[in-house]
Amino acid sequence: MTRRLLRHRVVVVGDSVAGLAAAGALCRAGVPVDLLSAGGFSLGRAEAACGGIGVGDGWPCRGPRRAEAPSAALRESLLVGDFLASQPAVRAMIEAAPAIVAALERMGVPFHRDGYGALELRQLCGCAQRGAAFAGAATGPLVLGALGAQARRYEAEPATDARGAVVPGEMVLRRFEPWDFVRLVLDDGGACVGCVAQDLRSMALRYFVADAVVLAGDGPSLLYAEAGGGPACRESALGAAYEQGAIFANAELIDVHATAVAGPDGPLVLPEALRAEGARLWVPRCAGESRAPADIPEPDRDYLLERLYPAWGNLVPDDIAAREIWRAGEGRSQSGPGPGGDDGRGAYLDLARVDAGPGSARLAGALAPGRPLAGREAGVPIEVVPAMGDCLGGLWIDFEADGDGTLVAGSARNHATSIAGLYAVGAAACQYHGAGRLGGNALLAALHGASLAAAAVVAHGEARVRSAADLPRSMFERAEQEEREGFQKILDAGQDEPEPESAFALQRELVAAMRRDCGLVRDNARLDELQALLGELRGRARRIRCRDRSQRLNREAPFVRQLGNLLVLARVVVESARHRNESRGVHFKPAFPERDDARFLRATLARHAGEGRVEILGDVGSGGTGAQPLVRPGRRTYGRTRPLAPETPAAEAGGEPTATQAVTGQAEQEP
């Protein structure tokens, strides 16, 4: 009897850009998909990308555009990531960029165009020239909407079996929202054959049988923000998968945002597109400045990035801009109004050029939430501080490359984690960003990774000897029953405790500790103290009393479970940061100010070694193959010297490289 296609379903966890793109690609390949999402109104890392999406090299457009060799975008991506990203994977992403942008246009994403109708490009942070297509201040949300519309058609398309016959009552795409991922289901050989999830309305637990599971949720954003990105970013799938054996890579590399405004639920990040449209960062020249920012004249303002990096100005990568703001505030004590609060570790963002230029209309949506939070109106500088974002690492993923470093498309190894049958894409995966993210690469990596993962899942399914649907149901029922009992324990825990703990209060303590001791600047002694504190928080988490014990629409009990996974991931982040004794990209240790390629030009791999213990594994090379790297790792520079005189050509002076020359990575390393 011919096997029905229904028996080969794939589960995709997360309706992010990467999740919807992966689900759509699988559906187009004829693979039925169960899409699980926690729901919510907020956007994750890629979806919130307002700046745009990278178009790679050679995109046809009018006006200023890339003039470098075809490897320019590759070199920029690797340089911003301090050469820690997988080079074959990044090259494949750059080469696929024009086709991805063209596909998004066909889906209806309204990219901005010039007066001639040609696609207009924007220069983002870390890019030497214009290289990102954009749709006003809502590129990410519009891409998400287009992918959602594409996926919606498969919810009404009936599934067919291998003979092409319609399977009654089954659709190609089944959407489960709001459902929270709980755990993987592993067979006797340790391969992933499904998962267990929970309906957040009825609180019912259910197992899903699948030949493969694709994790496409957000990373551990709640480690640095009290409310993260809302319910959609609270998925704790990474922590659960890590505890079940998946290897985590580069957990210490936390994205840094130079411009954020303090909000009620944590910092609100202002997009880098503001600086691309003319916004300027500055600090008062006098340490004890007490005047309001609008009353400080130009001579008393220090536009520090323009002074330190004249070839790039305010378009240096965010990690460099954030560290310069931190250095500028070192030793300052604000006696009155000033950026950064009492310690002065902040800056002002001057939006005069944005308000006066075309960027005012393009970025109206991005400016709307920031100004009220900062208490500023148009024409008045906004107080901003550096803030930590999401993890640039994620679950370790494999890929297959040939001898010359070219990615092998359609290989079942691409985006496969260390657990057979488990794949990761988007913010859940490592490989594409290294120690820093180039402007425009967040959306690009999510979409390209989803395409690769979908093809890999198809190849994985074709290579399986038997389907997960052929396994005994007792295996899945046992996993479901274990989670049902675990959920009941959460509801019953702490009822007899004289001084019970609150999950929300513990998470606020965790956020404060991570920001303080494992934030923009790291110190080994403080990381050791943080490790001890995490052990204490883990012990206190056992005394949490769930005040809401209802069996429907219970929001507290799932959060208690997610907090446990967050504490596990926090330990991974801290242990990985303690291990990397160097400064590279977003990872900055003043005690180790230089980059140490001999020891750390490789991913930090962490494996779960029991409760409260992390095992740092042997290193793997950054190239992933035995071949020579596509781009030789060079010294990172963005021209941190005094500006040259206008009449002195940079080549004759031999000092300040141009923005184009800076991407060659051959000059002095940025400390």
The CATH number assigned to the domain holding 330 equals: 3.90.700.10
Q: Where does the pLDDT of residue 161 fall: very low under 50, low under 70, confident under 90, or very high at 90 and above?
A: confident
**How many structural domains compose the chain?**
3
The answer to whether the CB of 207 falls within 8 A of the CB of 480 is yes
pLDDT tens for 576-612 read 999 999 999 999 999 999 999 999 999 999 999 988 8
The answer to whether the CB of 371 falls within 8 A of the CB of 142 is no
Determine phi and psi for 613, rounding to 5 degrees.
-125, 140
- What pLDDT is attached to residue 330? 67
Average pLDDT in the 24-37 region?
Answer: 93
**Mean confidence (pLDDT) of the chain:** 82
Q: How many whole angstroms from its chain centre is CA 468?
A: 31
Domain boundary among 560, 580, 600: 580
Q: What is the DSSP letter of 667?
A: S
For residue 627, CA distances in Å to 406, 416, 600, 631 come to: 10, 21, 19, 11
The answer to whether the CB of 127 falls within 8 A of the CB of 121 is no
Average pLDDT in the 408-417 region?
Answer: 93
| Range with the largest mean pLDDT of 44-53, 165-174, 368-377, 526-535 | 526-535
Domain boundary among 351, 386, 421: 386
The answer to whether the CB of 396 falls within 8 A of the CB of 309 is no
pLDDT tens for 333-352 read 443 344 554 455 789 998 88
Here the tokens at position 317 are 């990568």
H helix runs in 298-440, sequence order: 304-308, 318-328, 352-356, 359-362, 364-374
Residue 291 belongs to a domain: yes
Average pLDDT in the 430-456 region?
Answer: 93
CA-nearest of 615, 572, 10, 513 to 239 is 572
Residue with tokens 């997960």: 468
pLDDT tens for 527-552 read 999 999 999 999 999 999 988 888 88
- What pLDDT is attached to residue 362? 74
Residue 623 belongs to a domain: no
Q: Where does the pLDDT of residue 3 fall: very low under 50, low under 70, confident under 90, or very high at 90 and above?
A: very low
- What pLDDT is attached to residue 10? 95
- The span from the CA of 577 to the CA of 616, in Å, is 11
- What pLDDT is attached to residue 467? 85
- What pLDDT is attached to residue 641? 43
CATH number at residue 543: 1.20.58.100
Average pLDDT in the 192-208 region?
Answer: 95
- The span from the CA of 464 to the CA of 444, in Å, is 30
CA-nearest of 425, 612, 631 to 534 is 612
Domain boundary among 538, 558, 580: 580
- What pLDDT is attached to residue 43? 55
Residue 278 belongs to a domain: yes
pLDDT at 192 over 90: yes
User: Are 381 and 481 in a shared domain?
Assistant: no
Structural domain of 482: 476-580
User: Are 564 and 649 in a shared domain?
Assistant: no
The answer to whether the CB of 435 falls within 8 A of the CB of 81 is yes
Average pLDDT in the 41-68 region?
Answer: 62
Residue 508 belongs to a domain: yes
- The span from the CA of 169 to the CA of 453, in Å, is 28
User: Are 272 and 378 in a shared domain?
Assistant: yes
pLDDT at 465 over 90: no
User: Regarding beta strands 192-199 and 347-350, do their DSSP bridges make them parallel or antiparallel, or are they unpaired?
Assistant: unpaired
- What pLDDT is attached to residue 549? 87
- What pLDDT is attached to residue 402? 82
**pLDDT > 90 in the chain, percent:** 50
The answer to whether the CB of 52 falls within 8 A of the CB of 139 is yes
- What pLDDT is attached to residue 449? 95
CA-nearest of 308, 280, 311 to 293 is 280
- What pLDDT is attached to residue 302? 92
Residue 195 belongs to a domain: no
Residue 125 belongs to a domain: no
H helix runs in 518-628, sequence order: 524-541, 556-579, 597-600
- The span from the CA of 174 to the CA of 155, in Å, is 6
- The span from the CA of 222 to the CA of 9, in Å, is 31
- What pLDDT is attached to residue 664? 39
Here the tokens at position 469 are 């649907």
User: Are 524 and 641 in a shared domain?
Assistant: no
pLDDT tens for 604-646 read 999 999 888 999 987 544 434 344 678 888 888 786 543 332 3
Crossing angle, helix 503-517 and helix 524-541, to 10 degrees? Answer: 170
pLDDT at 234 over 80: no
User: Are 275 and 338 in a shared domain?
Assistant: yes
Q: How many whole angstroms from its chain centre is CA 388?
A: 11
Cα atoms in the 13 Å half-sphere on the side-chain side of 414? 26
Of residues 157 and 332, more confidently modeled: 157
pLDDT tens for 365-379 read 666 555 555 556 667
CA dihedral (180, 186, 187, 188) positive or negative: negative
Residue with tokens 């919810």: 155
User: Regarding beta strands 10-13 and 212-215, do their DSSP bridges make them parallel or antiparallel, or are they unpaired?
Assistant: parallel
Residue with tokens 């944590």: 266
User: Are 275 and 377 in a shared domain?
Assistant: yes
- What pLDDT is attached to residue 654? 38
DSSP string across 457-511: HHHHHHH-SS-GGGS-HHHHHHHHHHHHHHHHHHHHTTTT-SS-B-HHHHHHHHH
Average pLDDT in the 246-262 region?
Answer: 91
Q: How many whole angstroms from its chain centre is CA 403?
A: 30
Residue 162 belongs to a domain: no
Q: Whole-prediction pTM value?
A: 0.90
Residue 433 belongs to a domain: no
